[in-house]
């Protein structure tokens, strides 16, 4: 974080305020920029050390950002807005300093549903109405884009998420395992 030549230095120094920056991440492909910046030593160039903290869930990242255990984090885009507004947790002023992607996601349905002919939204709605049971779908974080896209996709296919489906929060690394053991019928996440 150098200053332009001839710039004005606060307190006469361009030394970083902190020499260690604790950065949280969820082990997904889009955390690669944070991990590789640390591995390749980009932090040392600026007189700081990145201390990476592998986190288990977005809620954990949110809470650690809000209470100061993390200085920065790889997060869902809308998670920061939830923290800023105090939605689902402690309210804390935060800043988005860099956006790394525009949030791609997919809805994945269970093999059991696919075997019954549910391979898209319309056929899912038909299977759900024929079975007349509560179906469970997962997203990664209540204020995240995955939740919004899941609700939108279900509603666009005539599925009322208030009456016909239960939507739960599951951390991304646990999605596939939960699907395998039958805890959910489908999920929306950035890397299915």
Q: Where are the domains of the chain?
A: 19-85, 106-189
Spelled out in words, what is the top-level CATH class assigned to the domain 19-85?
Answer: alpha beta
Is residue 157 within 8 Å of 124, Cβ to Cβ? yes
The predicted structure's pLDDT at residue 82? 84
* Distance between CA atoms of residues 184 and 82, nearest Å: 25
Q: At residue 12, does pLDDT exceed 80?
A: no
Instruction: State which CATH number among 3.40.50.12780, 3.10.20.740, 3.30.1360.30, 3.40.190.10 fits the domain covering 106-189.
Output: 3.40.190.10
Task: Please give the helix or strand (H or E) that residue 173 lies within, else none.
Answer: none
Span 139-167, mean pLDDT? 90
Residue 10: the pLDDT is 55
Lowest pLDDT segment from 72-81, 153-162, 178-187: 72-81
What is the reported pLDDT for 138?
95
pTM of the model: 0.60
Q: How many CB atoms are located within 10 Å of the residue 119 CB?
A: 13
Contact 64, 90 (CB under 8 A): no
Q: Cα 165 vs. chain centroid, distance in angstroms?
A: 22
Residue pLDDT, tens place only, 107-137: 999 999 999 999 999 999 999 999 988 899 9
41 versus 82: the higher-pLDDT residue is 41
Say how many CA atoms lie within 13 Å of 53 toward its Cβ. 18
């Amino acid at each position: 974080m150098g200053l332009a030549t001839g710039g004005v230095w606060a307190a006469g120094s361009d030394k970083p305020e902190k020499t260690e920056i604790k950065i949280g991440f969820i082990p997904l492909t889009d955390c690669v920029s944070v991990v590789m910046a640390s591995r390749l030593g980009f932090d040392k160039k600026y007189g700081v050390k990145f201390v990476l903290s592998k986190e288990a869930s977005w809620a954990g990242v949110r809470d650690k950002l809000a209470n100061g255990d993390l200085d920065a984090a790889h997060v869902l885009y809308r998670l920061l807005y939830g923290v800023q507004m105090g939605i689902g947790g402690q309210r804390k002023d935060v800043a988005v300093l860099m956006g790394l992607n525009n949030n791609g996601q997919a809805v994945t349905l269970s093999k059991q549903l696919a075997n019954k002919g549910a391979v898209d939204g319309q056929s899912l709605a038909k299977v759900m109405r024929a079975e007349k049971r509560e179906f469970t779908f997962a997203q990664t974080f209540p204020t995240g884009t995955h939740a919004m896209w899941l609700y939108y996709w279900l509603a666009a296919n005539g599925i009322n998420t208030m009456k016909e489906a239960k939507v739960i929060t599951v951390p991304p690394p646990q999605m596939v395992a939960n699907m395998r053991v039958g805890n959910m019928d489908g999920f929306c996440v950035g890397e299915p």
